[in-house]
Chains A and B, each alone.
Chain A
Amino acid sequence: MNNLLEVQNLTVKFPTRNGMFEAVRKISFSLGRERLGIVGESGSGKSMTGRAILRLIRRPGILEADHIKLEGEDLLQFSEKAMRQVRGHKISMIMQDPKFSLNPVMRIGEQICEAYRLHAKASKKEAKKKTLDMLEKVLIRDPERVYRAYPHEMSGGMGQRIMIAMMLIPDPKILIADEPTSALDVTVQKEVLEIMDDLVRERGMGLIFISHDLNVVSAFCDRVLIMYAGRVVEICQADRLHEAKHPYTIGLLNSIPQLEHPVEHLQVLQRDDAWSREPSVNGVVKREQAS
């Protein structure tokens, strides 16, 4: 078994009045059974990369790549119908705000059951049991009550746990989490990340963690891709993020105010046009054996 996912020269572009706008430009990376972080500012193309993997780029957006291989099979060759089997079943995605990703007029339990039964042939009774189990796994204290509740009765942190439960119940191989905790408070953020981390590790899944927050990413990932203007400018081991070499990464790190190291004047990022011109750093790791 090699990589779970391999992306080669992925480009996402949008036609505009002023010519093509390239949101993602020729990036390549691979994902094993690891936690891969993608960081960058808004507009750097990190969310587009996540969506492109699931082929969720809507027209007139154009998605191009040499290949996007999921366990050796090229997703670009799949029909739209076949793609639907991939989404949720093999690769699932958690979005930023649970308020917008849960159906407001459907009970939470029913939504999770639906997600399960779409991909697994199971009776309603089995699905309910499985759902309650899953709700317990994301540390919800009273699963029966949550099962019957509507999304508006839940707080943001609970909502995001429910999303995690819903996304993990079909047992996907890869989870793409797009800013899963940005809408949450710091203390809740930690809890939700820990739950996600535990479940992903336990199941030996691959995780793509998309975030603007360098600190969160360095704490929860193994490897980090840093994106700027649609390109990968640097790849670091997450625990060595503070040894980053690219001026953009260093600039980002320095612009964060720090509690224990007060400064009079925060460093401001001085952008360099060359950053958006130089080619992407290749993030493909050759793996011969599953680790």
Chain B
Amino acid sequence: MSRDNKTGIELAQVNVWFGEGEERVDAVIDATFSVPHGGSFGLVGESGSGKSTILRAITGLAPTWSGNISVLGSMLGKERDKGFYHDVQMVFQDPYASLHPRQTVDHVLSEALYLHGFKNPDKRIVQILDDVGLEQSFRFRWPHQLSGGQRQRVAIARALIIEPSILLLDEPTSALDVSVQAEILNLLTRLRKERGLTYLMVSHDLAVVSHMCSEMAVMNQGEIVEMLDVEQLRGLKAKHPYTKELLDASVQKRRGKP
């Protein structure tokens, strides 16, 4: 893979659809945006707006798409090779569903290492548990013995143990309590700083996205309706009516005035 150190992820006129003929549903329409290497970008929208579908198209989990997606400067084809998964990893929304219930933390982590042919699994597991703030005693536990926040830490450890440079985050904290959400967001911020990671984060929560990302795209019904940087968002300078509505909803909620 030829590396280009400036762009992390670039999408140009990406369409994703499901079904054919009359059944066809256009989930993503003409999405174009780019995330610089080491940057963090947010996709915001309601359920059904196509934000998670973009992540799935990038990782190859949505097979019917058209347009251009490039990751670290190399264009993606229909198939993803192993090198791709070495560069790009994903953390899913629900830590209760994304970890195998019959595999210990150690098993989950060492499988990832084995698949990517890493040496020294023992040392790496000890190290990564440390990095995500889990004690070593968690290594041989099963998911049911962990809380939601701890599980999400394991999911992040699983993604990061093979040292990717891009992390796709699909609502990483929406299943967690606010106090635990703060811990996970802090962890993600710290890891990004330490490892120079690129984040592409999907969330419905504008406050979370504004905390984590410097730029964001607002999606509605499959289309990107507006691109904003964090300053514009904080200054409540949205132009598109839909973005305004979203902003109103989250600001009012916070101010406690119905």
Query: Which residues of A approach B to under 8 Å, CB–CB?
Result: 41-42, 156, 185-190, 193-194, 197, 212-216, 218-220, 238-239, 241-242, 251-252, 255-260, 262-263, 265-269
Give bound CA distance, A257 to B210, whole Å. 8
A212 to B180, CA, bound (A): 12
Q: Which of B16-24, B160-168, B181-189 contacts A (4 or more CB under 8 A)?
A: B181-189
Say whether B177 faces chain A, with CB atoms less than 8 Å apart.
yes
A189 and B250 CA atoms in complex are apart in Å by: 10
Q: Which residues of A contact B258 (CB under 8 A)?
A: 190, 193-194, 197, 219-220
Asked whether, in the complex, the Cβ of B252 is within 8 Å of the Cβ of A212, the reply is: no
Contact A252 B256 (CB under 8 A): no
Chain B residues, Cβ within 8 Å of A219: 252-253, 256-258
Question: Which of A156, A220, A269 is packed against the most chain B CB atoms within 10 Å?
Answer: A269
Determine if A259 and B234 form an interchain contact, defined as CB atoms under 8 angstroms apart: yes
Between A and B, 20 residue pairs with Cβ closer than 8 Å are A41-B178, A186-B249, A186-B250, A189-B249, A194-B258, A212-B177, A218-B256, A241-B256, A252-B178, A255-B181, A257-B208, A257-B211, A259-B207, A259-B233, A262-B210, A266-B211, A267-B182, A268-B183, A268-B186, A269-B182
- Taken together as a complex, chains A and B put the C-alpha atoms of A156 and B183 apart, in Å, by 29
The reply to whether B249 and A156 form a contact with Cβ atoms under 8 Å apart is no
Distance of A84 Cα from B247 Cα, bound (Å): 44
Pair B249/A268 contact, Cβ less than 8 Å: no
**CB neighbours of B249 from chain A (8 A):** 186-187, 189-190
Inter-chain contact B179/A41, CB cutoff 8 Å: yes
Interface bin, chain B: 35 or more
Q: Which of B46, B179, B254 contacts A258 (CB 8 A)?
A: B254
Q: Which parts of B159-210 form the interface with A (CB within 8 Å)?
A: 177-183, 185-186, 189, 204-208, 210
CB of B245 within 8 Å of the partner chain: yes
Give the Cβ gap from A207 to chain B, nearest Cβ, in Å.
14
B64 at the A interface (CB under 8 A): no
Could you say which of B47, B180, B256 contacts A185, with CB atoms under 8 Å apart?
A: B47
A212 to B177, CA, bound (A): 7
A258 vs B211: C-alpha distance in the bound complex, in angstroms?
8
In angstroms, Cα B178 to Cα A251, docked, is: 10
Asked if B246 is at the interface of the complex by the 8 Å CB criterion, the answer is yes
Residues of B within 8 A of A260 (CB): 234, 236, 251
Across the interface, which residues of A come within 8 angstroms of B253, CB to CB? 186, 190, 215-216, 219
Query: Which residues of A lie under 8 Å from residue B181 when comparing CB positions?
Result: 255
Are B254 and A185 touching (Cβ within 8 A)?
no
Whether, in the assembled complex, B148 has its beta carbon less than 8 Å from a beta carbon of chain A, the answer is: yes
Q: Are A265 and B186 in contact (CB under 8 A)?
A: yes
The complex places the Cα of A194 from the Cα of B253 at a distance, in Å, of 12
The one of B46, B207, B257 in contact with A257, judged by C-beta atoms closer than 8 angstroms, is B207
Bound CA–CA A266/B256 (angstroms): 21
- Known contacts A218-B256, A265-B189; A41/B250 CB under 8 A: no
* Bound CA span A190–B248, Å: 10
